[in-house]
Chains A and B, each alone.
Chain A
Amino acid sequence: MTSSTITFDGVSHAFGDTPVLRDISLTLAEKRIAVVGANGSGKSTFARMINGLLLPDQGAVSIGGLDTAKDGKAVRRRVGFVFQNPDNQIVFPIVEEDVAFGMKNLKFSKAEIETKTGKMLRRYGLEGHRSHPAHLLSGGQKQLLAISGVLVMDPEVIVFDEPTTLLDLRNKLRVAEAIEALEQTAVVVTHDLDLIADFDRVIVFDEGRILADDAPTPALKAYVEAMSGV
């Protein structure tokens, strides 16, 4: 097991009386993992458990042996999270301030923050917007900014919850390209099946259970069949 291995051990979770995850056990060690499934099938709930934003009612989740319930802070540091709506995850008004936010929380030095901010903004073609208001960026640029703000914290795993849903085709492609180029392990929740065609593993959720867990082609076949009621 490496420090980026994700383990779910008998995880169940309910909101009120509604069970949302039912006895999930999994070990994820691949580099590109996709999570698909119908609306409300439990994908976001599953994703939020990976970095301890949500703790399971039953069972345990761990990342490289760190339990999300016991070592929350260390897990948060190891697992970054990119959300669906870029507008809701940009915290500071100016582009470079926002990139620095996570690094400040982790107490990086001023010099380090400066260097890493510059490097990351160049990587995503945002250096010209460094001191611009973040709300003036395009949707795709905002999502790249959100990814930048996570990457500068040096995570080993990045969880994406529908990172391209709100984007137009051109911006979708830019973000897909950015995800593809990552060195880190990526877990991507999505309804965009093109995005995950080359992934190592696809997990299909259905009403809180795992319907299929396979390479993209067979997993997506099972998903389509289940959705069309064959």
Chain B
Amino acid sequence: MFELYRPGNSFLHAMRPGAKLLALAAAGTGVFLLPGLPAIIAVMLAVLAIYAATGLGLATAWAQLRPVLLVFAILFAAQVFIAGWLTGAFFIARFATLLLLAGLLTLTTRVSDMVAAMEIGFQVLRPLGLNPSKISLALALALRFIPVLAQITGEVREAQRVRGLDGSIIAVAIPVIVRTLRMSDAIADAIEARGYNPDKA
């Protein structure tokens, strides 16, 4: 879970992250402009072919969609109810294609490379008083600590289950929050100790 990057030698791995981000943005927009179900399905098949060609494989493609199957089911049901099953299928196919496209980016790009590319993109935000280097470090940290947070939550739930408290959201949430805050202090120290300077040019 959450192991975003898959090392490899495909053309997508070799492509520059900035170019990939732009290509993703263009392809995503394109998917929105496609007129009908057959066109979407053709694009989806093409994206799946890229998964196969880059060595990521169809199992990996499936893994991108599996976490949101329930969401798909609910959306599909709603669409069928409102507008008919054809519209529902169109909607879901478009959604799935977008997720698969985004997966191609995250699976073939190292976080640090993506962060560097975004940092350049974020330069446009500088006049608004936002610091690009801070935003991109925050993104990297979010990705790095998602598995740690999942682990902390798991540990706390286990500890509360032993005490018969695992049914209570509060009993789990409070220790998780306290541990997370303590952890953020420690991480801030570690970042500072490694020479990070948010005000660098």
> Bound complex: CA of A92 vs CA of B148, how far in Å?
12
Q: Are A88 and B111 in contact (CB under 8 A)?
A: no
Q: CB < 8 Å: which of A93, A106, A150 contacts B144? A: A93
Q: CB < 8 Å: which of B111, B183, B197 contacts A92? A: B111
Q: Are B195 and A135 in contact (CB under 8 A)?
A: no
Q: Are B187 and A89 in contact (CB under 8 A)?
A: yes
> Bound complex: CA of A76 vs CA of B197, how far in Å?
11
Q: Are B112 and A94 in contact (CB under 8 A)?
A: yes
CB within 8 Å of A: which B129-157 residues = 137, 140-141, 143-144, 147-148, 151
Q: Give the number of residues in B that approach A within 8 Å (Cβ atoms).
A: 29
Q: Which residues of A contact B143 (CB under 8 A)?
A: 93
Q: Are A73 and B147 in contact (CB under 8 A)?
A: no
> Bound complex: CA of A87 vs CA of B5, how far in Å?
19
Q: Which residues of B contact A124 (CB under 8 A)?
A: none
CB within 8 Å of B: which A131-157 residues = 131, 133-136, 149-150, 153
Q: CB < 8 Å: which of A88, A102, A134 contacts B194? A: A102
> Bound complex: CA of A80 vs CA of B190, how far in Å?
10
Q: Which residues of A contact B187 (CB under 8 A)?
A: 88-89, 91
Of all chain B residues, the one with the shortest Cβ separation from A77 is B195
Q: Are B147 and A133 in contact (CB under 8 A)?
A: yes
Q: Which residues of A contact B195 (CB under 8 A)?
A: 73, 76-77, 102, 105-106, 153
Q: CB < 8 Å: which of A85, A91, A131 contacts B191? A: A91
Q: Which residues of A contact B162 (CB under 8 A)?
A: none
Question: Which A residues lie at the B interface, using CB under 8 A?
Answer: 48, 51, 53, 73, 76-77, 80-81, 83, 85, 87-94, 97, 100-102, 105-106, 131, 133-136, 149-150, 153
Top-4 shortest CB links A-B: A89-B190, A88-B186, A105-B195, A81-B193
Listed by A's residue number, 17 A-B pairs whose Cβ atoms lie within 8 Å are A53-B193, A81-B189, A83-B186, A85-B186, A87-B183, A89-B187, A89-B190, A91-B137, A91-B187, A93-B143, A94-B112, A97-B110, A102-B194, A105-B194, A105-B195, A134-B144, A135-B147
